[in-house]
Structure 1
Amino acid sequence: MQSQQVAIIKALEQHIGISLLSLLIAMVIAIPLAILLKDHRRIAEACLQVAGIIQTIPSLAVLGLLIPIVGIGTVPAVIALVLYAIMPIFQNTYAGLTDIAPNLEEAATAFGLTKWKKLERLELPMAMPMILSGIRISLVMIIGTATLAALIGGGGLGTFILTGIQSNNNDYVIIGAVLSAVLAFFFSWLLKFISKNTKRMRVGLIGIALILIGFGGFKTYQAVWPAPTKIVIAGKMGSEPDILIHMYKDLIKDADPKADVTLKPNFGGTNFLFKALQSNQIDIYPEFTGTVNQQIIKLKGKTSSDPEKTYQTARRELASRYQMRYLKPMKYQNGYALVASPQFAQEHQLTKMSQLSALNDQVEAGFDPDFYQLHDGYPGLKGPYGYNFKTVKTMEPSIRYKAIANGRVNVVDGYTTDPQIPQYHLKMLQDDKHFFPPYQGAPLMKESFAKKNPKVVKALNKLSGKITTEEMQQMNYDVTVKKQSAAHVARRYLLQHHLIKK
């Protein structure tokens, strides 16, 4: 927490902002709707049924349906949270307004109170405990569900949870989960404390209303009239994209100190980032040649094993299909690799993947489910390498390194720049038959942006042909294992290799 305090504060701000804005919008919709429908039972019950159906739809499905309509980021996250928050507020408000004793309603009418005066002096005060209870339920639910905003680049504490799961770092998972729980507990306690008596309720409601209106208004202003930002750089989940986007920022700022650069780390997966680039939500992000060919342009047939041909195909297709410019790639590759335990590698003098075929009856492998099933993984390796391992267990990516470190398996799949390779002193085997496609990283941007910003292109091209696999492994190790900040690691590399001025 000490090393990540800046990121934690930012994530907390994003999480609270998304939650309070969603709650405010849900209250503005649900409470007036319940007031309008309190004398129209059938319509009210129909609305409750619709709200109930919405609640049964998985949140991930709602986000998936919203992305093609409103894009990615905070907006779809807020819409999804509002949809989930409406029902408890509407249900409790409606119940509170309709459960008032008939004799009290009759007395109010006898005293000559108009419909709106009756609402103001009798119905709302009587229903207020129920309304606050609904708001409390909605807010707790919103805070918990808001962690999913990280999946679509909405930020918040879910970023820590997703990063921790992907990097097998329980510290990040605990930070995200515990802080989300603390936020939910605090706001639940606050609302319960306020509802204890009338005086607290009156003062508390005024305070909450001012905070919600102020915070919600500020966030709405930011969404409608965002602060002008010249360059937005985003990255995928994990330490490596985080390091790369900080390098991009430092290179751009070195070339033009007046450049206004905003970073969006842990923004999401390939599809989210590419769509964000297409819709001008971001300007630059680091992408890999193999990923471009297989996931974005979806080339038919096997990707070439020649890094230069792979890059040129990706560059050409991105330019012709999407009018995007793919800059020159770095030296290292972040592709698939087979990794052996130090004991197994030393015992059999392993350095190449082809040597494993002679040890088929001794290899106990642990593979990611995708690697185990896809043609570019284990099934495809059986032909050129003649593999038929003794046992193959499938396990989640974060678990397989623990399995090989604990001696449960002696060979696993991995990526060439994984920090766990040096962390556990594992032996990465050379793909001597060039089976795996090349995965070299390079900045991706729109052609229109590149033409408007030649200084940015020139600055980023300084990374062309730089950074070896060993150097990126070490940088990932420094961030993931040693807990150094990605910004510090990135700047240190650029300074050591004289790519920027001090």
Structure 2
Amino acid sequence: MPDFLPVPPAELWQATLEHLRLSLIALLCAVALAVPLAVWLADKRRWAEGVLQVTNILQTIPSLALLGLLIPFVGIGSPPVLIALTLYALLPIFQNTYLGLSQIDPAIKEAHTAFGLSRWQALWRIELPMALPAMISGIRTASVLIIGTATLAALIGAGGLGNLILLGIDRNNMAMTFTGALLSALLAVLVSGGIGILQKSKHKMPITAALLAILIGIGLAPIFQTNPSAQKITIAGKLGSEPDILINMYKQLIEENNPRAQVALKPNFGKTSFLFNALNSGEIDIYPEFTGTVLESLVKVPAAQQNRRLSPEQTYQTAKDLLTRQHRLTFLPPMAYQNTYALAVSQDYAAAHNLHKISDLKRVQNQIRAGFTLEFTDRADGYKGLQQHGIQFNHLSTLEPALRYTALLNGKIDLVEAYSTDSDLKQYRLAVLSDDIALFPSYQGAPLMKTEFAEQHPDVVNTLNKLAGKISEAEMTEMNYRVKVGGEKPADVARDYLQKNGLINDKGK
């Protein structure tokens, strides 16, 4: 990899192509919807104004909210992103096409009868060519809007340049974040510039037809590249270095056991709910989940079992049984380490305020500035649990996970929630407060899959069970540190651990 690139060129190229493909397919869909609708309503002003109002309203809906509304109906991945991008692009294309057609001199529209042209012949030969500059201008505006918004696709596992941006934020790698943002901006400039050249061309209609053919080709290319007969195992991971390392371990173990296995990885696929929905819908086959997360977020715990303090073994067994009973999912035996929640402050702040354990926070709750993720603030084993123990902060900010440590280092906040294996705890030498109020449950990671998949792939189950009881907290923290701080590839770090512990041969894959 060239020194000036934060990621390998192949990954850059793949992310750029994914981003371009998503954007162009959405643009094509928007054109296919908006242009015929504008043509049909060109002489129906009242109806056209109604459609304009609807498309205006669609643009006011926050993109993340729109994705969230679509996920229950169409799942995660590309479908909700394509629908959202298409809806956002309707307004400029419809508006400009409608204005271009409705502002044509009525005398010109009526002249086609003198030439013996049918309505459709007049539309194709006279009206559309006259409205084409305005139409292309709308498409140009829509293309920039789509390419910029498509970076959000990474949040729900649809890939694209947003992956680089999110990964850069998560790893505090400004070069990676800047590269993703720069490539997205360059794509927008290039596509907009290309459409601008078309706008000035004297041969707009044939060039437009050719470009539409290219767009269709780019959009359909993946269909012809896939092999329907080849069975793949798709393994996904949540955002961050640790899930990335774990899914690479899964892949390498499976391929070591069966060299003919085709394992596809989807790293940084999204947050818990996205992966859980993807697993249930069959979009992915396996992902690493944690016992505490299962009980807090994924299953309905019977009332008799609620508010009970469970041992790690009881936590796993309860999570396993409820997943099987409620969702027909199989939860394999967990690894050894605990990646539970923790609360951390800088060592200077801990020394100045004599903070050693979570209950000590009650003394400084009126002055300390806390920075938590939205998920943590809404969890019973998070801020809600702290409140039940009489700890409530006057100064609380909600932040994205990757931004917490940056805010702490910059002196914007004093307290963050963390995971006990976060490399940031080691990198920044933070003081972790001991959990003397038994707030946080056990969090052990294990592969989660459909029971149907487990029954059909007993070899995969047996292979992944080799990780059961393996990996200490210190080992996981060190691996996270090597990826997030040292810049090593998750696949290399995963292979190194598996080889050193005799789980795969020294040649690797």
Shift of 1:480: 1.6
Shift of 1:188: 0.8
Shift of 1:316: 0.7
The size of the alignment, in residue pairs, is: 497
Structure 2 match to 1:211: 214
Using the alignment, how far apart are the partners of 1:226 and 1:29 within structure 2? 30
Structure 2 match to 1:82: 86
Shift of 1:246: 0.9
Using the alignment, how far apart are the partners of 1:347 and 1:130 within structure 2? 65
Structure 2 match to 1:283: 285
Counterpart mapping for 1:34-183 below 5 A:
34-183=38-187
- What SS class does the counterpart of residue 195 from structure 1 fall into? helix
Using the alignment, how far apart are the partners of 2:438 and 2:314 within structure 1? 14
Is 1:132–1:195's contact at 8 Å kept on the other side of the alignment?
yes
Shift of 1:245: 0.8
Q: Given the two structures, how large is their TM-score scaled by the length of structure 1?
A: 0.89
Structure 2 match to 1:376: 381
Using the alignment, how far apart are the partners of 1:46 and 1:222 within structure 2? 42
Is 1:288–1:440's contact at 8 Å kept on the other side of the alignment?
yes
Using the alignment, how far apart are the partners of 1:54 and 1:427 within structure 2? 47
Using the alignment, how far apart are the partners of 1:107 and 1:392 within structure 2? 71
- What SS class does the counterpart of residue 343 from structure 2 fall into? strand
Distance 1:211 1:415, change over 3 A: same
Is 1:21–1:219's contact at 8 Å kept on the other side of the alignment?
no
Q: Deviations over 1:96-141 (max 9, x none)?
A: 2222233433444323333233223221221111111111111111
Using the alignment, how far apart are the partners of 2:120 and 2:363 within structure 1? 84
Instruction: Kindly indicate whether residue 309 of structure 2 is the aligned counterpart of residue 304 of structure 1.
Output: yes
Deviates more, 1:392-401 or 1:477-486: 392-401
Is 1:357–1:388's contact at 8 Å kept on the other side of the alignment?
no
Distance 1:413 1:434, change over 3 A: same
One-letter amino acid of the counterpart of residue 85, structure 1: A
Q: Deviations over 1:223-271 (max 9, x none)?
A: 9x86744211111111111111111111100110100111111111111
Is 2:169–2:403's contact at 8 Å kept on the other side of the alignment?
no
- Paired-residue identity, %: 49
Distance 1:88 1:456, change over 3 A: same
Identify the match of residue 234 of structure 2 among 232, 235, 250. 232
Q: What stretches of structure 2 of length at least 5 have no aligned partner?
A: none
Is 2:112–2:122's contact at 8 Å kept on the other side of the alignment?
yes
Distance 1:481 1:141, change over 3 A: same
One-letter amino acid of the counterpart of residue 366, structure 1: A
Is 2:239–2:267's contact at 8 Å kept on the other side of the alignment?
yes
Identify the match of residue 333 of structure 1 among 338, 360, 363. 338
Shift of 1:171: 3.5
Shift of 1:379: 6.4
Shift of 1:452: 0.8
Deviates more, 1:18-27 or 1:433-442: 433-442
One-letter amino acid of the counterpart of residue 306, structure 1: S
Shift of 1:42: 3.5
Instruction: Kindly indicate whether residue 159 of structure 2 is the aligned counterpart of residue 187 of structure 1.
Output: no
Is 1:326–1:444's contact at 8 Å kept on the other side of the alignment?
yes
Identify the match of residue 449 of structure 2 among 439, 445, 449. 445
Using the alignment, how far apart are the partners of 2:369 and 2:37 within structure 1? 59
Structure 2 match to 1:7: 11
Using the alignment, how far apart are the partners of 2:450 and 2:478 within structure 1? 31
Using the alignment, how far apart are the partners of 1:232 and 1:134 within structure 2? 39
Q: What stretches of structure 1 of length at least 5 have no aligned partner?
A: none
Using the alignment, how far apart are the partners of 1:354 and 1:54 within structure 2? 45
Deviates more, 1:397-406 or 1:457-466: 397-406
- What SS class does the counterpart of residue 484 from structure 1 fall into? coil
Using the alignment, how far apart are the partners of 1:227 and 1:144 within structure 2? 36
Q: Given the two structures, how large is their TM-score scaled by the length of structure 2?
A: 0.88
Give the aligned CA root-mean-square deviation in angstroms.
Answer: 3.1
Using the alignment, how far apart are the partners of 1:123 and 1:413 within structure 2? 62
